Chain A
C-alpha cells in the first residue's frame, strides 16, 4: 500500500518537565515531530532520553508541559481526561515491552478487553477476537493463560489486543526488548505486515538497529530533541 502525504501525528514545540521534589527534569524541550499516515517509524535514543515519554504524549497517556499534540486533526492536549480515555479506546493500540497481559485472563479474554469499551455484542466481540488472533497466528492458543505461553506468543497476544479495535495508530514501546532474536524477528515481521498490508501507522521505540531496519523511517531522540540523521 502506498503512503499518502496526509500527516497523522503532529507534535509541535513540546516540552515535558518532570518534577521530583524541588528538582526539575527537562526530558523533552521544543520537540517537533510529524508522522505521515501509513508510516512505520522507529524511535531510537539512549536510555532515559525520553522515548517512552514521547510515546505517552502521542498516545494520550500523559500530557505535555507545553506544546501541542494533534492526531488525525484532533488536538488531544486540550481534551479532558474522560474524553481522552474514549479517544484512546477508539484510536490507539498499545504494545508493551513486557506484554502487560492480565494473568487471570486467557489469551482471548485479554484480546477482548478493549472491545468491552465498545457497543459490540458478545457475538461480534468473539468474531473480532478470532480475527485478531488469526492475524497474529495464535488461534490455537486462544484458551491459554499468559503464564503458559512463550514470550513471543505473549507478545503476539499483546499485538492482537492492540489491533482488535482497528485503531488509527499503533504505539509499541520496545516490543522486542524482552525477546530472543528469533521471536523478535517474528514480531517485527508481524508489525511490518500490519504496516504494509493493512496500512497501519506504527511508531515503535527500540534500542535495536536490527529492529529499526524494518521501519520505513528512523528518528533519534537526544537531549530532548529529535535528530533525523543517526549519530553513529
Chain B
C-alpha cells in the first residue's frame, strides 16, 4: 500500500516516544503470554485428563495408603476395564531443589493405562528385564542431562530402604515423550516389584489407583460402586474422575483464571492509556500537516485510516514482539520445573493475544483518528499564520 511509507515516516518522527510506547506494549504482551502459560501449567491436568479414567484414593487424605490387594477387587467390579496403582516417592536428585515427581508402577499395566507416555520398543523391553530400571520424561532427562544407561541416585523424603538408608539407585532404561502437547514429561517411573521388596516398611501398600472404565457415561455410578466396595473397611476410598481430581488440585491454587483476568485487565487498561496518549499527541502536534493533506485532497476517511494505521503499527510492533518473546521463553522450558512441570504457551492463547493486539491498536487510535477526521482545513491551517 502506497501510504505505508507515510505512516512509517510519521512513526520515526519522535523515535524515543515511539520506542517507549512499543516497549511498554511489548512488556504487557510478554506478561500476557507468560501468565497464559502459567495458567495452562496450573490447569493442564484438567484438559489432559482421560474421560474414561477414575482416580481412587484414601478417603481421608491423598497421603494415606491403600492395600495393593484392592487392585484385584477393583478389576472384578462390572464396568471396570483395568486398575493400576502408583505411590508417591518424591524424588530428589543431588539437591533438594532438584525435585521431581517419581512413582513406582507396574510397567506393562501402567503403559496400557497411560498411552500418552510414548516409549520406544527396545526401551520397553529393557525396562521389563531390569528390576531396578527406571524411565523418565524428556523434560527432566534434559534438565539433568541424563542419558540411557546412567545410574541415577535418588533420595526419597518418604521411603527408606531396608537397613535405614534413604539413598536409592536406578538404572535409566528409557526416556519417554508425550503423545500430545501438554503431556507431563517431568516424571520418573520405576518398578513396583523392586520398590516393594526393597522398602523398609509399608510393604503391600500403595498410594492411589487409576481405574479405566468401559463407558465414560457410567463414571459417577462406578465411582460410587468402588467406594461402596471398600466402605466400612480400615481403608475407605474416595473415587472421582481424573479431570475432577486435577481440577480440585488447580482450585487449591486459587481461582487462577479470575486472578489472571484481573491482572491482565489492569495491565491492558494502562497500556491502552499509554498508546492512546501517544496517538493523541501525535495527532495534536501534526494538526497543520493534517490540514495540508486534506487541502491537497486527502479525504476525511483516508486521514482517519492513516491515523488508525499508525496506531496499529505501533501496537503490532510491540504486541507481536511481546507474544513472540513469551512464546520463546515458554518454549525454552519451565522457569520452575519442580512446581510447574508442564509449561508452554498454547496456540489458542497466542491467537487471543493477536486479537488483543488488533483491538488495542484500534481502540487506542480511534479517538485521535476521529479527531483528525473532523479537523477543518481552514481552522487547521490558520494555526500557523
* Cα A88 to Cα B288 with chains together (Å): 17
Report A90-136 residues with CB < 8 Å from chain B CB: 90, 92, 94, 96-98, 100, 102-105, 109, 113-114, 116-117, 122
Smallest distance from the beta carbon of A131 to chain B beta carbons, Å? 18
Instruction: Report if B385 contacts A (CB, 8 A).
Output: yes
Stretch at the interface among B97-105, B132-140, B295-303, B356-364: B295-303
Q: Does A85 lie within 8 Å of B289, measured CB to CB? A: no
Interface secondary structure of B, over-half rule: helix
Smallest distance from the beta carbon of B177 to chain A beta carbons, Å? 52
Instruction: Report if B12 contacts A (CB, 8 A).
Output: yes
Q: Does A122 lie within 8 Å of B384, measured CB to CB? A: no
Q: Count residues of chain B with CB under 8 A from any CB of chain A.
A: 27
Instruction: Report if B325 contacts A (CB, 8 A).
Output: no
Smallest distance from the beta carbon of A67 to chain B beta carbons, Å? 17
**Given the complex, which residues of A lie within 8 Å of B9, measured CB to CB?**
102, 104-105, 109
Q: Does B384 lie within 8 Å of A98, measured CB to CB? A: yes
Contacts A52-B385, A85-B298 given; does A102 touch B378 at CB 8 Å: no
Contacts A81-B300, A85-B297, A105-B9 given; does A100 touch B385 at CB 8 Å: no
Q: Count residues of chain A with CB under 8 A from any CB of chain B.
A: 30
Give B1-25 as 1s and 0s: 1 = Cβ < 8 Å from A's Cβ atoms.
0110110011011000000000000
Smallest distance from the beta carbon of A110 to chain B beta carbons, Å? 10
* Cα A86 to Cα B300 with chains together (Å): 11
Instruction: Report if B293 contacts A (CB, 8 A).
Output: yes
Partner of A122, one of B2, B376, B377: B2
**Given the complex, which residues of B lie within 8 Å of A102, measured CB to CB?**
9, 289, 292
Instruction: Report if A62 contacts B (CB, 8 A).
Output: yes
Instruction: Report if A139 contacts B (CB, 8 A).
Output: no
Contacts A102-B289, A105-B9, A122-B2 given; does A61 touch B295 at CB 8 Å: yes
Q: Does A89 lie within 8 Å of B378, measured CB to CB? A: no
Instruction: Report if A82 contacts B (CB, 8 A).
Output: yes
Q: List 18 A-B contacts (CB under 8 A).
A: A52-B382, A61-B381, A81-B300, A82-B299, A85-B298, A88-B295, A88-B296, A88-B297, A92-B297, A94-B295, A96-B292, A98-B385, A100-B381, A105-B6, A109-B5, A113-B293, A117-B296, A117-B297
> With contacts A86-B297, A104-B10, A109-B5 known, what are 13 further pairs, Cβ within 8 A?
A62-B378, A85-B294, A88-B296, A89-B297, A89-B298, A90-B297, A94-B292, A94-B295, A98-B385, A102-B9, A102-B292, A114-B296, A122-B2
Query: Taking beta carbons and an 8 Å cutoff, which residues of A are in contact with B?
Result: 52-53, 56, 59, 61-62, 81-82, 85-90, 92, 94, 96-98, 100, 102-105, 109, 113-114, 116-117, 122
Query: Taking beta carbons and an 8 Å cutoff, which residues of B are in contact with A?
Result: 2-3, 5-6, 9-10, 12-13, 288-289, 292-301, 376-378, 381-382, 384-385
